[in-house]
Amino acid sequence: MKVQHVAVSGPNGSLGAAVITNLLKAGFEVTVLTRSPEKTAKAFPGVKVAEADYSSVEKLTSTLKSAGKVDAVVCLMNREVHVLPAQLALIDATIAAGIPHYIPSSFGADMRKPKNRHLPPLEPKGDMEDYVVKKANEGALTFTIINQGVLLDWALDRDILLNFDGQPIRLLDHGKGKISATTLDDVGKAVALALSKRDLVINKYCFIHSKATSQLEMLRLLRELRPNDEIKTMNIDTDAMLKESEENFKKGDLSPMAMRGYIVKVSFGDNGEEGNHFDKTDNELLGLPEWSEEQLKEFIKKYIK
């Protein structure tokens, strides 16, 4: 089956612009589902926008049916626990509307790893994926799950991997952990490519990255770009970060800053081992080129003021 018309839910988050832009570039018809139609219409002029009520499977089903013949739904909603009911409702509505393919909001870590499943911030994501797989096993729909590791530009924008303001770079466990790093744009390309090759990725977990790298490698490239600058570093013990997040969780503080110790452990592993690095990727299957070191260096260069 050829996918032609895609409904995208949750367009106003980090991945929205990249996914929608790449779907349009690839020639897909796009309908955007949103709670904020006016805001979304301004953000994506010319794109069909439909108001979505995630509190009702029946209303969501009606919205999807009224959009015309939709072949696939892409969910970009965040994975916090309070959003889980909305995601489950969207899955049920996709099935009820007779839409055959679903890309869930699974971007990031591989939830099939036991060590990831038991981290509190990721539990809703695991529950959602279990539900998608259950429905696929029942023959109700097909899915493609895309894992991309660390969002490279998102992290650089927040001084997580490097920083460019003269402050010491915070190396997590000395910066030696290898990570799969992917730009927002490459995630958007992967979504479009997966839908264009739907028959090859039915009920498949796809692992992609722009570049497999580490903080130490990126630090070396930064020093090559700024040979006359003194670039200081400091080591951050991720075990201590994890302990702090565990204490915050017991207190009921689930804010992103309070939970960052869990996320760091997923991304960078234990003392630089078994982090969010994919030994085998599906870049070639999808047709998404992996970067050279020089391409990574040029990307870092954009952040130097």
- In the CATH hierarchy, which top-level class contains the domain 151-179+211-301? alpha beta
Query: Domain 5-149+182-207 has what CATH class?
Result: alpha beta
User: pLDDT value at position 271?
Assistant: 47
Please list the rounded mean pLDDT of every run of 10 residues in the chain (305 residues): 95 95 98 95 95 96 97 90 89 98 92 79 89 98 96 91 92 91 98 98 97 96 95 93 90 83 75 67 98 98 92
Note the pLDDT of residue 2. 94
CA distances from 33 to 54, 62, 92, 183 (A): 10, 12, 15, 24
SS3 of 181-229: EECHHHHHHHHHHHHHCHHHCCCEEEECCCEEEEHHHHHHHHHHHCCCC
pLDDT at 202: 98
What's the pLDDT at 8? 98
Spatial strand order of the sheet with 48-51 comes to 48-51, 29-34, 5-9, 72-75, 101-103, 142-147, 204-207
3-state secondary structure at position 47: coil
Domain definitions of the chain by residue range: 5-149+182-207, 151-179+211-301
pLDDT given at position 40: 94
